[in-house]
Amino acid sequence: MFTKSAKYYDAIYAAMDKDYSAEANKAHQFIQKHKRSEGNTLLDIACGTGTHAEYFSRYYKVDGLDVDSNMLEVARSKHPNLRFHQGDMTSFQLGRQFDVVVSLFSSIGYAKTKSRLQKAIRNMNRHLLPGGVLLVEPWFTPEQWKPGGVFTIHVDKPDLRIVRMSHSGQRGKISLLEFQYLVGTSEGIEHYTEIHELGLFTRKDYMDAFKAADLTVTHDSKGLDGRGLYIGRKSTE
């Protein structure tokens, strides 16, 4: 997905002032409110370059998981003290359970279909200890998604200049994001394109997926940064 842009991912979101530390702190507050298990292990699913995982490690013993080997290469280089695994959110098998499982920054949208959404939530639940908590930050709902938008982000560093232009589209219940990159370094200027496809799920779709996995679920409309947050707790029985 981020085949060519993985090494620039952190620079791009730093330019957007994404506050990973504040988001991890807010997530920690939700976790402490809802968690009933006694340990402090956490699995960060779709962890990307590991920035959330780094901040979570202030409170928890953290593992990360991502499907993208390029993102994991960056994560392992940045955070050699953390353990990262490669796997798909719908089918990974780590052979252990955690007190907390999180999937943030709307990565759940990459499940794309309702059946895969339900499969992903069930699989996350299988990796939860009794009394453990699952946090999922949703992607846009069908009502929120507005096709036809064009946006630009600029990175302006002495040794790195990036312009990322994006266009939003839609195909049925799939949102489409076309990213066009211009990357300038001392070696020259590079141009490339990425297409990202994310499922447009309703609030009911999310709630049903949690309930189908036998999780007690609540929805916080604001969440960590305004995207909302689904909070599931596994029974202690």
Annotated domain spans of the chain:
6-141+202-234, 150-199
Nearest to 71 by CA among 17, 25, 116, 4: 4
Check whether domain 6-141+202-234 has CATH 3.40.50.150, yes or no = yes
- In the three-class reduction of DSSP (H, G, I as helix; E, B as strand; rest coil), residue 148 is classed as coil
What tens digit of pLDDT does each residue of 86-118 get? 999 999 999 999 999 999 999 999 999 999 999
Catalogue the E-assigned strands of the chain: 41-45, 61-66, 83-86, 98-103, 128-136, 150-157, 160-171, 174-185, 188-199, 215-220, 229-234
What tens digit of pLDDT does each residue of 174-226 get? 999 999 999 999 999 999 999 999 999 999 999 999 999 999 999 999 999 99
150-199 CATH fold: S-adenosyl-L-methionine-dependent methyltransferases (2.20.130)
pTM of the model: 0.97
